[in-house]
Amino acid sequence: MLKLDKVTKTYRIGTFGSKELHAVSDVSFDIKDGEVVSLIGESGSGKTTIGKMVLHLTPISSGTILLDETDVSALKEDEEKEYYRTVQGVFQDPFSSYNPIFKADRIFEIIHDIFYPDVDEEAWKEKVHKALKDVGLNPEHVLDKFPHQLSGGQLQRFLIARALLLDIKFLVADEIISMLDASTRIDVLNLLAELKKKGLSILFITHDLSLANYISERAVILYRGCIAEMGTTEKIFNSPRHPYTQMLIASVPRLDQKWDKAVTIEENSDPIGYEDGCVYYGRCPLAYEKCRERPVPVEIDTDHFVACWKVTDPHT
């Protein structure tokens, strides 16, 4: 379905773009048909950038993203429309996803106008009603309203319904429930799970490990634009091997056990002098000489990749 191959995003910063900032470096992973893959990372890890590159909202600096046969990096402006027929995104902030001065259902009208100009008014209305019912909304209650009259959960379902109006095969869900209340977020999550059952592939971007674990089969852990660890969720969550993943999982507040006091780790100290080394070098308790070289993800077990010399270097 989706295949990322050595995808890199570089921003030029400083005076006259003298410095380069690697938002995403050499990220490769793939998503199979009907699979939910979680992309997990802290703020600044590049997870949103990857989502935007897949959606062709941000240009790719190098590497390729293939969606089935389509090369996303080579997409021309007039091919975008066809691409968006099959690939759609839903974003974090439901309120900022709507133009505040228009009614919320305007997002459906735009789809009608651009993708289905031949469908008549009546048939379209029926299609919208069906899509809304599919996402668990009552059309009577939610149509003809302004965004601020709807709840965050309703707005996010609206956006999913919008995606369903198209024949999408792939959905990028970028932190779509992080701004929702606890009592409604799980419903939106369940909705994604149902869509997956119908064959939709989903890239689920999140910073919340328990949500990722709940919904996805596979997970990719991202740190500062590099993949730290990836594989099936069971392997990642039950036997994490990368020190960063281990720290993350130990830091998640759980309802069944209290934090282990010992594992609090100092946050970002920049790896000055070793910019080409492992991105986790500055924070890693296990760092040693070898880590001044950048490790690449290595398969240590079936579908379990780790980018850490401590785990993959045979000499240690």
Partner 1 sequence: MSLKVENLTVYYQTLRGDVQALEDVSFEIADGEIMGLAGESGCGKTTLAHSLIYLSPPMKYVKGSVQLDGRNLPVERMQDMVSFRCNDISIIPQYAMNALNPIRKIGKMIEELVEAKKMDFEAIKPELLRRLDLVKLPREVLDMYPIELSGGMKQRMVMVISTILNPSLLIADEVTSALDVASQKAVAEMLVEFRDQDCTNSMIVVTHDISILYQIADSIMIMYAGQLAEKASTKTIINSPRHPYTKMLISSLPEIGVKYTDKRLEGIPGKPPLLLDPPIGCRFRERCPLAFDKCEEVPPFIEIEENHFVACWKETEDLA
Partner 2 sequence: MKKEKKQNELIYFAFRNVKLIIGLAIILFFLVLAVIGPMLTDNDPFDFVNPLGAQPPSSEYWFGTTFFGQDVFSQFVHGLRATFIVGLFGGGLGTLIGILIGFVAGYRGGIVDEILNVLTNIVLVIPTLAVLLIIAAYLEVRSIFTELIFIGFTAWPWTARAIRAQTFSLRTREFVDLAKLSGMKPLRIIFTEIAPNMMSYLLLVFILQFGGAILIAATLDFIGLGPTNAISLGLMMQFSVIWGAMQLGTWWWFIPPGLAITAIVGALYIMNVGLDEVFNPKLREM
Identify residues 22-61 at the interface with partner 2 (CB under 8 A). 52, 55, 57
Considering CB distances under 5 to 8 angstroms, the limit depending on partner class, which of partner 1, partner 2, none binds residue 93? partner 2
Considering CB distances under 5 to 8 angstroms, the limit depending on partner class, which of partner 1, partner 2, none binds residue 228? none
Q: Does 267 bind partner 1 (CB under 8 A)?
A: yes
Give me the DSSP letters along 86-124: HEEEE-S-TTTTS-TTS-TTHHHHHHHHHH-TTS-HHHH
Per-residue binding string, partner 1, 88-127, x by CB under 8 A, is ----------------------------------------
Identify residues 112-151 at the interface with partner 2 (CB under 8 A). 114-115, 145-146, 148-149
Considering CB distances under 5 to 8 angstroms, the limit depending on partner class, which of partner 1, partner 2, none binds residue 214? partner 1
Q: Does 208 bind partner 2 (CB under 8 A)?
A: no
Q: Does 265 bind partner 1 (CB under 8 A)?
A: yes
Q: Does 153 bind partner 2 (CB under 8 A)?
A: no
Which of 17, 100, 117, 314 is in the footprint of partner 2 by CB under 8 A?
A: 100
| Closest CB to partner 1 among residues 18, 269 | 269
Q: Does 214 bind partner 1 (CB under 8 A)?
A: yes
Q: Does 154 bind partner 2 (CB under 8 A)?
A: no
Identify residues 150-169 at the interface with partner 1 (CB under 8 A). 151-154
Residues in contact with partner 1 by the rule CB under 8 A: 42-43, 151-154, 181-187, 189-190, 193, 207, 209-211, 213-215, 233, 237, 247-249, 251-256, 258-259, 261, 264-268
